[in-house]
A and B are shown apart, each in its own frame.
Chain A
Amino acid sequence: NAGVTQTPKFRVLKTGQSMTLLCAQDMNHEYMYWYRQDPGMGLRLIHYSVGEGTTAKGEVPDGYNVSRLKKQNFLLGLESAAPSQTSVYFCASSWVAGNEQFFGPGTRLTVL
């Protein structure tokens, strides 16, 4: 059981470049989440999904898009990266809302 995995672990982008972060979970969870964590700000929800084929905006969705084509995968896209998107990105999953969330190891993204 791998739990929640994220790829890549590290990435450096130039302003304006695009990329996709992949999150995968093998626990058959319905809910999946993307957070960003910045110093002093805690974890902030970017987007989340309550099931395959669904997505919803979180607290800080601007500049990001997501897709949940398969239940086990949740993709986070940056179409045109900006330095303000330099952060650590965590993916998480849970059975339902209000349950324990299981986190992936994170992706450290730097935008120059």
Chain B
Amino acid sequence: RKEVEQDPGPFNVPEGATVAFNCTYSNSASQSFFWYRQDCRKEPKLLMSVYSSGNEDGRFTAQLNRASQYISLLIRDSKLSDSATYLCVVNNDMRFGAGTRLTVKP
């Protein structure tokens, strides 16, 4: 089993849709988790941190489930500009998931 696993997608959704990605991790001692966004041929940039209590930033919600060892990212009311690859990171191990590609279509 990979240390950090993501569904590679691609997820193709219409504008306005709600889409959710999961990311599973194998190290139960992991303490810090992040979601990054990477546009085509660009560097990854932090989207949001994932806290134990969950956190929300506008249309984006991140949650952590320690018992099942996964983190999730929910995007509501998808915009065309949300099209990108979303990478989860388990930072203690500096392990990135392979990324989930999202395409939002008009």
What is A's interface to B at a CB cutoff of 8 Å?
33, 35, 40-45, 48, 58-59, 90, 97-101, 103-106
Contact = CB atoms under 8 A, between A and B. Distances in A.
A103 B44 contact: yes
B49 A42 contact: no
Nearest to B4: A42
Contacts of A48: 94
B45 interface: yes
B104 interface: no
Consensus secondary structure, chain B interface: loop
B62 interface: no
B32 interface: yes
B42 A42 contact: no
B43 A103 contact: yes
Contacts of B49: 100
A86 to B, nearest CB: 15
A97 B92 CA distance: 7
B42 A33 contact: no
B52 interface: no
A90 B8 contact: no
B94 A100 contact: no
Contacts of A40: 8, 98
B93 to A, nearest CB: 9
Contacts of B97: 42
16 contacts: A35-B96, A40-B8, A42-B87, A42-B96, A42-B97, A44-B96, A45-B95, A48-B94, A97-B91, A98-B31, A98-B92, A100-B34, A100-B49, A104-B43, A105-B42, A106-B42
A9 to B, nearest CB: 11
Contact of A43 (B46, B87, B92): B87
Contacts of A42: 4, 6, 87, 96-99
Contact of B32 (A44, A90, A98): A98
